[in-house]
Amino acid sequence: MTGMKKNLITALSTFLVAGSLMSVNAHAESDLPMYFDFGDTVINMNAGSEHTMHMRSKFNYTYHLGPHTSAGTYLECSFKSGTQDVIFHVGADEQAKDVPFYFYIDDAKVQSDGTYDEVLVRVGNAAQVSESVQVELAKKATGTVKKNGNVAMLYNDKDVAMASFSLTNGNGQMATLSLKGVAVNEGSKYFDVVSATDSTPVISESDKAVMAANGFAGVCVNGKYKNW
């Protein structure tokens, strides 16, 4: 009876240890477990959002982005070995539906052979943008706003340029700009645009007067209304 009791205790101990090991590894996700341990390998996010993920890297690392369209899509991380939280950012003007983040070991202790692991971000509401949008001008005329680089130019019905505007990120630098359409707020029209940052409009006084004469009070940047 004593021998049977000892065998039961041994079996129970073995089971508990195995269960404990399984619980420790339950959230470990990586194709390279000797290097990385990711909290997730597929993340669902919306454009203009951020997501915090817990991860572990045995060595210093770096990352590269796969195909994407927004300068606001990036990873906030330490690049150092150890257990840490990293923050995935997806720009409000991101048009790609899937953005892969490739993780590489970047450490003098390891001879790099280009091996990488991946976390895939699926963008649920990728920005629907256009290079040009038809708009209504004064006296019900039809005009067009066209994107030229990061400048938006307003044209009349004869395709003659009337006025233009751009965006700034507040650091004296021109911000990215993509056209969505026209939004209306409290009876006034706004050019509906998306940008990688929370940007503000830049426009000359003469062009502002042209915009105002045609009913445009400013821009709607990433859902935020901003007057000229």
Average pLDDT over residues 198-213: 97
Q: Same domain for 116 and 140? A: no
Q: Same domain for 76 and 139? A: no
Average pLDDT over residues 197-224: 96
- Structure confidence at residue 112 as a pLDDT band (50, 70, 90): confident
Letter string b/e over residues 46-83, b meaning 16 or more CB atoms within 10 A of that residue's CB? ebbbeeebebbbbbbbebeeeebbbebbbbebeeebee
- Structure confidence at residue 223 as a pLDDT band (50, 70, 90): very high
Q: Same domain for 117 and 41? A: yes
Q: Same domain for 150 and 84? A: no
Say if 32 falls within a structural domain. yes
Could you identify the residue written with the tokens 């000797």?
Answer: 34
Final residue of a structural domain among 71, 103, 123:
123
Q: Same domain for 118 and 150? A: no
- Return the CATH number at 106: 2.60.40.3450
Final residue of a structural domain among 75, 106, 123:
123
Q: Same domain for 182 and 213? A: yes
pLDDT of residue 36: 95
| Residue range(s) defining the domain that contains residue 102 | 26-123
pLDDT of residue 32: 86
Per-residue pLDDT at 9 exceeds 80: no
Average pLDDT over residues 115-122: 94
Contacts of 182 (CB under 8 A, 6+ apart): 133, 135, 136, 189, 190, 191, 192
Final residue of a structural domain among 123, 153, 181:
123
Q: Is 71 within 8 Å of 176 (Cβ atoms)?
A: yes
The percentage of residues in the chain with a pLDDT greater than 70, rounded to a whole number, is 88
Q: Same domain for 147 and 117? A: no
Say if 15 falls within a structural domain. no
Q: Same domain for 119 and 141? A: no
At 94-111, the pLDDT tens digits run 999 999 999 999 999 988
Say if 75 falls within a structural domain. yes
Which DSSP state fits 39?
S
At 130-176, the pLDDT tens digits run 899 999 999 999 999 999 999 999 999 999 999 999 999 887 789 99
Question: Number of folded domains in the chain?
Answer: 2
At 56-68, the pLDDT tens digits run 999 999 999 999 9
Q: Same domain for 91 and 160? A: no
Say if 5 falls within a structural domain. no
Per-residue pLDDT at 6 exceeds 80: no
Structure-model confidence comparison of residues 166 and 128, the more confident one: 166
Say if 10 falls within a structural domain. no
pLDDT of residue 131: 92
Say if 13 falls within a structural domain. no
Q: Same domain for 110 and 155? A: no
pTM above 0.85, yes or no: no
Say if 3 falls within a structural domain. no
Q: Same domain for 178 and 95? A: no
Q: Same domain for 30 and 114? A: yes
- Mean pLDDT score of the chain, rounded to an integer? 88
pLDDT of residue 25: 36
Could you identify the residue written with the tokens 């990433």?
Answer: 222
